[in-house]
């Protein structure tokens, strides 16, 4: 049999009805991890895939996948994991994993390093803005070619918040499912309690505003399991966790749609300060309040990027010898 014959046989097998007479559908989802450099994205992915490996620094864009069996003798569900390295320096690579063909089954996980509050808002804003613009372009194309799918995607995000939720008109859901993970909680836990409160409240507001789930994690097994539960819900359709933790003195865990603006409260600043801040949207106001306490550091992710040709994990003897010869 040629490779094509095997592929055809495989597809026919998948599409042939199972014992109940229903065709077995293979569940395929994709998720893109992005966020701060060295923020712990690779560690979280390895934990989701139950791989006991030491994470290596991610260069540019990396891909891996996971498979799970739902029932005995059924095809395995597949989850595609993409990881964008380099913090905010390689934003144009976002358009490689997110395409018109997989947009229906795509989700984003934004990993923010809680131990670096001065980089937090800038990283989050840049990454979400570029991703949102790219997804909106795809949706605009879809509206012309396949309006049903475009409507279904928009509808699904609106459904994250029940229509009778008091904030239904006040939020602006992200166009595809989004999970925000605050990493390095162990370091963050040592911060002054007022600082922790400002960061926690701000992340709660941003997550709620975008219709995202929020979870804080660290190297602790219990916290990693909570993050894993949220990601498994996204990629393998496991049941959504109903537990919620909004106490600022503990790690936050808030699945999408289970928070409210009244519970979060106003931005943590005095009324006179808020009065002086010129902001057109609630998001802009929270940004100004947050950056008053944590002024954004001008950092450039590109400066830290080492030459991958010198990286030992990509050593390739024959190629390196040829290169050395050429350089000489």
Show contacts of 154-163: CB within 8 Å, 24+ apart: 157/211, 160/211, 160/256, 160/257, 161/211, 161/257, 162/257
- Say if residue 73's pLDDT is above 70: no
Residue pair 206/182 in contact by the 8 Å Cβ criterion? no
pLDDT in tens, 204-227: 999 888 888 888 888 777 777 777
Q: What's residue 22's pLDDT?
A: 54
Distance separating alpha carbons of residues 257 and 210, to the nearest angstrom? 10
Measured CA to CA, the distance from residue 127 to residue 122 in angstroms comes to: 9
- What pLDDT shows up at residue 66? 83
So what's the pLDDT on residue 196?
86
Mean pLDDT of the chain: 80
Separation of alpha carbons 227 and 177, rounded Å: 15
Could you say which DSSP state residue 294 is in? S
pLDDT above 70 covers a percentage of the chain that reads: 88
Sequence-ordered list of residues with C-beta below 8 angstroms from that of 240, at least 6 positions apart, any chain:
233, 255
CA distance 293 to 289: 7
The pLDDT of residue 322: 92
What domains appear along the chain, each with residue ranges and CATH number?
26-293 (3.40.50.300)
- The end-to-end CA distance of the chain, in Å, is 49
Residue 49: predicted pLDDT? 75
Whether the pLDDT of residue 291 is over 70: the answer is: yes
Predicted confidence band of residue 300 (pLDDT cuts 50, 70, 90): low
81 close to 48: Cβ distance less than 8 angstroms: yes
Q: What is the pTM of this model?
A: 0.79
The pLDDT tens digits of the residues spanning 159-208 come to 766 666 777 777 788 888 888 998 888 888 888 888 888 888 999 999 88
């Amino acid at each position: 049999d040629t490779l094509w014959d095997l592929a055809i046989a495989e597809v026919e097998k998948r599409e042939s009805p199972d014992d109940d007479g229903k065709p077995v559908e293979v569940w395929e989802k994709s998720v893109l991890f992005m966020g701060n450099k060295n923020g712990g994205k690779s560690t979280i992915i390895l934990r989701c895939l139950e791989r006991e490996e030491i994470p290596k620094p991610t260069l540019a864009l990396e891909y891996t996948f996971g498979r799970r069996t739902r029932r005995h003798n059924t095809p395995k569900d597949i989850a595609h994991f993409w990881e964008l390295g380099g913090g905010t320096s390689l934003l144009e690579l976002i358009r490689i994993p997110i395409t018109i063909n997989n947009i229906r089954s795509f989700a984003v996980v934004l990993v923010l390093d809680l131990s670096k509050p001065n980089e937090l808002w800038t990283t989050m804003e840049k990454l979400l803005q570029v991703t949102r613009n790219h997804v909106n372009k795809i949706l605009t194309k879809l509206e012309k070619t396949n309006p049903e799918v475009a409507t279904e995607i928009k509808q699904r995000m609106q459904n994250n918040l029940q229509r009778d939720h008091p904030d239904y008109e006040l939020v602006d859901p992200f166009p595809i499912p989004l999970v925000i993970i605050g990493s390095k909680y162990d370091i963050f836990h040592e911060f002054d309690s007022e600082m922790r409160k400002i960061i926690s409240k701000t992340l709660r507001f941003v997550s709620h505003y975008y219709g995202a789930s929020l979870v804080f994690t660290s190297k602790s097994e219990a916290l990693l399991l909570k993050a894993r539960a949220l990601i498994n819900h996204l990629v393998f359709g496991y049941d959504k966790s109903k537990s919620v933790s909004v106490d600022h003195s503990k790690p936050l865990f808030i699945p999408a749609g289970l928070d409210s603006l009244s519970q979060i409260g106003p931005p943590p600043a005095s009324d006179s300060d808020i009065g002086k801040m010129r902001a057109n949207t609630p998001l802009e106001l929270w940004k100004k309040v947050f950056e008053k306490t944590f002024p954004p550091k001008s950092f450039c992710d590109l400066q830290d990027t080492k030459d991958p040709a010198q990286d030992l994990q990509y050593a390739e003897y024959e190629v390196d010898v040829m290169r050395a010869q050429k350089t000489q």
